[in-house]
Structure 1
Amino acid sequence: MSHKLGKITLAEGVESEEQMQYLRRNDCDEMQGYFFSRPLPADQLAALRSAGKRLALASGRDDAPPTVLLVDDEPSILSALNRLLRREGYRVLLADSASTAFAVLAREPVAVIVSDQRMPVMTGTELLARVKTLYPRTVRLVLSGYSEITAVTDAINKGSIHKYLSKPWDDEHLKSEIRDAFRTWKERFGKEHD
């Protein structure tokens, strides 16, 4: 909204790389906070500014392969999925909990998210409903051996998840569904990044 009004956006209180990366991806113009520097006396601030010191920011990763985030609390499942999808040329990020998934999403641009349904603290459909609000330019899938039909149907109907896939999975079918999810992402959001 501020850009449409011809104003710049300034975020205060930025304390972590995750917050900074999230704000950068959402077109925040300027930021301040402890992540950049603690409060300084005027003479030290002047010296810092005159030194021209800047943060080393990660590249926009325009040349990075398509990125998928896998969320599951079982290490063996994450390992198997990671092996399968890396061979397909994807950049694979892993999270063993909802809180880890949110930290990864704040730091990294992700196109497709695949989450287990049954996890401690937050179910997969709850996680993906929050992701839909915070990171709407993602395609979200549930991969689970557990299915409470009401929760899954509700999540699909509300647009929180794109598809529900069953465990145990067939490798070829899962790879096909992931390719389809990336095609869907490109159709919906890829033009914004071309």
Structure 2
Amino acid sequence: MMVKKITAGVVGGLFLTSLIAASAFADTTSEISGNGAGSINSIYIKNKSNCDVSQKNKTTVLTEVVSKANSGGNNANGNTGGDVTIDTGNASSEVLVSVEGGSNEATDPCCCGSNDSSHEALISGNGRHSINSVTLKNKKSSEIKQKNKTEVLTAILSKAKTGKNRANYNTDGSVEVKTGDADSLVDVSVSSSSNTLNP
């Protein structure tokens, strides 16, 4: 019995690129004080956070398998005065090919409250009829890209033979030829790639 088992994993690689700009808003303090009567005073604060995560995974598997099992091709020729028996065993060829796709796992660095910030505003000591304002804007964005690609090319030749046995030109005896079973099994399994995004 001949058994060939091939397990192919990730061929290629995992490429992870993370570009994180200001993943957490900074704590800020603003103050409007000591301005004259009738003055107009304003503070505008804008915080922006952007997280980009990109993952790509490519699995390429090329498989070529040749498997042969042969218990035949036996000769018992030209015997005289006796019985002739050819009894071959079984011939079995088994080829197993298993390909597992790649996997990506990413964590969003801007998720789950990591961008919270605190702001303290102080307005005091300004003149009569002055107009004072503090404006705060927080903006955050997150973009996650994950891509998987699996390519599998398999070429398999599997043969099992028990035949081509010869018992010729025998004299004064019985001739018996028995052949065993010939089995050929080919199994190819491909598991898909996977992406996992953690918060």
Give yes or no for TM over 0.5.
no
Q: Which structure has the larger Rg over C-alpha atoms?
A: 2
Quickly name the TM-score band, shorter chain normalised: under 0.3
TM-score normalized by structure 2?
A: 0.16
* Higher relative strand content: 2
Question: Relative contact order (C-alpha < 8 Å, sep 6+): which is higher?
Answer: 2
